[in-house]
Amino acid sequence: MTEKEVSVKVQSLDGGNPWIETFTSRTDNPKKEFEALLNQWNIDFPDNKRKIVEIVGNTGKIYCDFHKANMLTVVRNRENYDIMECSQCKLFIKRHGLGQGFNYQRECKPDLVCVECNKQFKSKSGLKKHMDVGKHKTPEWLPDGV
């Protein structure tokens, strides 16, 4: 499931100016998701209740959708790790430790990634310059064939 950032206009139940909150939606129904969050908030903070004014919409931000890319845990230089790959931008990251919750959130920008270097650039011109020079270097911690 693709995660995306959604903006919602909320308002205090006591009135006042509405403001914008953003949250990460994991379903196709961000309104329902946010309502559930808000219900919980209103239970936790009964003196500070809020309501939805409107769903402003998708901010256009998407987040990496990581899955495990290696079959077996990698052991290298006395380090143990799994390699997680984003299905959208193809970036790899290391995940240390066994059985730990994995909750790594990063903004996904598939058109700013050099797959060979496993690197995300800040701008398209930065990536283009890098591609023009053509000096790619795969990180040492990435074994071949993942």
86 part of the interface to Zn ion, by CB under 5 A = yes
DSSP character for 47?
A: G
Binding range to Zn ion, per CB under 5 A, among 1-9, 25-33, 67-75, 85-93: 85-93
Alpha-carbon distances, residue 53 vs 11, 17, 56, 63, 115 (angstroms): 6, 11, 9, 25, 41
128 part of the interface to Zn ion, by CB under 5 A = no
State the nearest-atom distance from the C-beta of 88 to Zn ion, in Å. 5
Tokens 């730990």 map to which residue? 100
Three-state SS at 10: strand
In the complex with Zn ion, which residue's Cβ is closer, 8 or 89?
A: 89
CA distance 41 to 56: 20
DSSP character for 107?
A: B
Q: Token pair for residue 78? A: 């006395």
In the complex with Zn ion, which residue's Cβ is closer, 10 or 112?
A: 112
Of the candidate residues 108, 120, 121, 127, the single one contacting Zn ion (CB under 5 A): 108
State the nearest-atom distance from the C-beta of 86 to Zn ion, in Å. 3
Question: Residue numbers of the site for Zn ion (CB under 5 A)?
Answer: 64, 86, 88-89, 108, 114, 116-117, 136
